[in-house]
């Protein structure tokens, strides 16, 4: 039995093709993979909530999401031809009464999100997005290098990086339960205005936090945040001892 697979590639699916396409496979090589969707709202420079889906050329669209019609006005439930556009004003289409189908989505609000996505894809292209993702990784690495090297008084590393190296959304696992992470995050918010997302994993004491480095973060902004982070950590470590 052949079961087609849909891959929710999310943000990583948009990053991989532009960072290292030779090493990070992002395609339809697996026989069962027929559709892949990616998010555009973080690194595609599009409004929040916008994504994109790609369909493999040999995949037959399910009947329930196709709109069939025959001739200019009559709708049909018959199987569609490969031609997916029908113009009732075309002389060719008027005399061609063969079954056709259209694939579309009906929106109940402004189409600005779709048109802006189309505009950005055309404007930046492969080279533009490659440059953008590379810059995001460079800026996130400033923080990654610092956090990855932090050690406690016993010489053990305080944090463990849990995200992939090509991902400018960086995530760390707290390995030292005595490290005042909660107070540090509060101080960063109250004193410097930086909001950091941290999560307790279920009923355990395990804590993971993440930082998102988008295209509008510069070297200067990353360094400014690093300086604030160093000050807050130093102050809290003094109080701890």
Q: What is the pLDDT of residues 59-73, one digit of tens each?
A: 777 776 665 554 444
Is the whole model's pTM more than 0.85, yes or no? no
Residue 32 belongs to some domain of the structure: yes
The residue range of the domain holding 65 is 5-113
Determine the Cα–Cα distance for residues 148 and 193; give it in Å rounded to an integer.
Answer: 23
Per-residue pLDDT tens for 74-109?
Answer: 333 333 444 444 444 455 444 455 555 555 555 566
Same domain, 92 and 137: no
pLDDT at 189: 94
Residue 70 belongs to some domain of the structure: yes
Q: Domain holding 187: CATH number?
A: 3.90.1150.170
Same domain, 38 and 105: yes
**How buried is 181 (Cβ within 10 angstroms: 0-12 exposed, 13-18 middle, 19+ buried)?**
buried
Determine the Cα–Cα distance for residues 159 and 235; give it in Å rounded to an integer.
Answer: 18
Determine the Cα–Cα distance for residues 103 and 83; give it in Å rounded to an integer.
Answer: 11
Residue 187 belongs to some domain of the structure: yes
Same domain, 60 and 138: no
Per-residue pLDDT tens for 174-217?
Answer: 999 889 999 999 999 999 999 998 888 877 778 999 998 988 88
């Amino acid at each position: 039995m052949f079961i087609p697979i849909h891959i929710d590639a999310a943000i990583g699916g948009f990053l991989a093709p532009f960072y290292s396409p030779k090493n990070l496979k992002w395609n339809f090589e697996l026989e069962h993979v027929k559709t892949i969707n990616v998010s555009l709202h973080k690194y595609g420079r599009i409004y929040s909530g916008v994504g994109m889906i790609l369909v493999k050329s040999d995949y037959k669209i399910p009947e329930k999401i196709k709109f069939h019609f025959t001739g200019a006005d009559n709708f049909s439930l018959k199987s569609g031809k490969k031609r997916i556009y029908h113009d009732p004003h075309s002389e060719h289409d008027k005399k061609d009464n063969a079954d056709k189908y259209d694939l579309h989505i009906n929106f109940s609000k402004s189409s600005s999100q779709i048109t802006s996505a189309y505009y950005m894809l055309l404007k930046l292209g492969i080279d533009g997005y490659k440059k953008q993702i590379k810059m995001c990784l460079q800026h996130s690495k400033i923080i990654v290098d610092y956090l990855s090297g932090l050690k406690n008084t016993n010489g053990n590393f305080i944090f463990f990086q849990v995200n992939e190296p090509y991902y400018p959304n960086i995530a760390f696992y707290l390995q030292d339960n005595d490290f005042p992470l909660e107070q540090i995050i509060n101080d960063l918010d109250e004193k410097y205005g930086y909001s950091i997302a941290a999560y307790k994993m279920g009923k355990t004491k395990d804590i993971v936090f993440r930082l998102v480095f988008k295209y509008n973060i510069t070297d200067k902004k990353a360094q400014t945040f690093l300086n604030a982070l160093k000050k807050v950590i130093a102050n809290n470590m003094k109080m701890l001892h």
